[in-house]
Amino acid sequence: MRVIQFGLGPIGNKLTKFLLERNNIEIVGAVDCDPAKIGKDIGELAGLGRKTGVVVRASMQEVLREKSADIVVLTTSSQLVKIMDQIKEIIESGMDLVSTCEELSYPWLTHPEISREIDRLAKEKGVTVLATGINPGFVMDFLPAAMTGVCRDVEKIVVERIQDAQFRRVPFQKKIGAGLTVEQFNQRVAEGSLRHVGLTESMQMIASKIGWEIEKKEEVIQPILARQTFTTKDLYIEAGNVLGVEQIGRCYVKGEEKITLIFRAALGLPDPVDRVMIKGDPDVELAIKGGIYGDTATCAMVLNAIPVILASSPGLKTMVDCMPVSFFT
């Protein structure tokens, strides 16, 4: 399987590292528009301490002049509108596409026109497009949707993802607002720069799979505050300041709250877990001890999705209308 890595930020670099570990995958090219990265070897960028012979190019055309590939791994942005040109270029080059773009994980309701355009183009060119990751893509959508398969009836689905961010990377800690004052937190939320992207997409993915028509949905974000001073090796947080974020999505069908997604990530949160609770016949309560470690798992999921995408029929797919993704050798 010949792969082009498009986007060499933290996720892209981790992905190249994981891709290079697999015998049945070859990275044939890499693309990033950052002048500081162009010309660098992806092995250096991934911190492998060795060269791989694959050098970052400024554009897809430059790569395609020398090489061809089966699939492009696109890790450039969370926002779909920002990467539409990149998506189109990849599809038009006749390559499959897997992305970490959260908004692309289930874009049918939030970006219906763009979704139809991607789907139409992909079918025209005979290629498959899928965005995945751990969240959105797995814990709060694929997994609960798949668990309802055991149910004769489903009244309500609640998913919790509770993460202790204490030992995560500092950029992740900053992303969830750790160390901010409440005022700064609220300002960042108002700007739209502090939120987990994907709750909406996860709810819509579950609802569409089950056949529930969403009549109303809401999402609330609030800070989780330090009751007393909290210190990590990198951060000092005063009592009353922010340890992290709680974000809750709710989705109503015929007047009833049918899907509730609860995402909490903060320094020192007790009992981290991923939990799926289905009220139905039978009830299902599933817990993943400690929660799935997102940094590794997002990249693993994208990589493991490659053979599934290559085997899929053309079009814009979501995780609930592809074969299940597994580790592969």
The secondary structure element, H or E, covering residue 209 is helix 199-210
- 245 near 177, Cβ under 8 Å? yes
Smallest distance, its own copies to C-beta of residue 124, A: 20
140 near its own copies, judged by CB under 8 A: no
235 near its own copies, judged by CB under 8 A: no
304 near its own copies, judged by CB under 8 A: yes
By CB under 8 A, the residues from 94 to 113 that bind its own copies are none
- Nearer Cβ to its own copies, position 17 or 40? 17
- Rounded-to-10 torsion of CA 272, 274, 279, 284: -110
Smallest distance, its own copies to C-beta of residue 110, A: 21
Q: Using CB under 8 A, pick the residue from 34, 92, 124, 153 that binds its own copies.
A: 153
Q: Using CB under 8 A, pick the residue from 151, 197, 214, 262 that binds its own copies.
A: 151
Other beta carbons within 10 angstroms of residue 141's beta carbon come to 30
Least Cα distance to 263 among 102, 122, 111, 104 occurs for: 102
The secondary structure element, H or E, covering residue 298 is helix 294-311
By CB under 8 A, the residues from 194 to 233 that bind its own copies are 209-212
293 near its own copies, judged by CB under 8 A: yes
By CB under 8 A, the residues from 115 to 134 that bind its own copies are 134
- Nearer Cβ to its own copies, position 248 or 288? 288
Token pair listed for 122: 């992909």
153: exposed, middle or buried (Cβ count in 10 Å: 0-12, 13-18, 19+): exposed
252 near its own copies, judged by CB under 8 A: no
- 31 near 43, Cβ under 8 Å? no
Q: Using CB under 8 A, pick the residue from 39, 112, 150, 229 that binds its own copies.
A: 150
- Nearer Cβ to its own copies, position 115 or 135? 135
320 near its own copies, judged by CB under 8 A: yes
Position of tokens 């001890």? 289
- Nearer Cβ to its own copies, position 243 or 300? 300
- 205 near 105, Cβ under 8 Å? yes
315: amino acid identity, one letter: G
Q: Using CB under 8 A, pick the residue from 9, 268, 280, 314 that binds its own copies.
A: 280
310 near its own copies, judged by CB under 8 A: no
List strand residue ranges (DSSP E) for the chain, in order.
2-6, 26-31, 56-57, 71-74, 96-99, 128-131, 153-164, 216-225, 230-231, 236-237, 242-253, 256-266, 273-281, 284-289, 315-317
30 near its own copies, judged by CB under 8 A: no
Name the residues that contact its own copies, by CB under 8 A.
18, 21, 134, 138, 142-143, 145-146, 148-154, 209-212, 280-282, 284-290, 292-293, 296-297, 299-301, 303-305, 313, 320-329
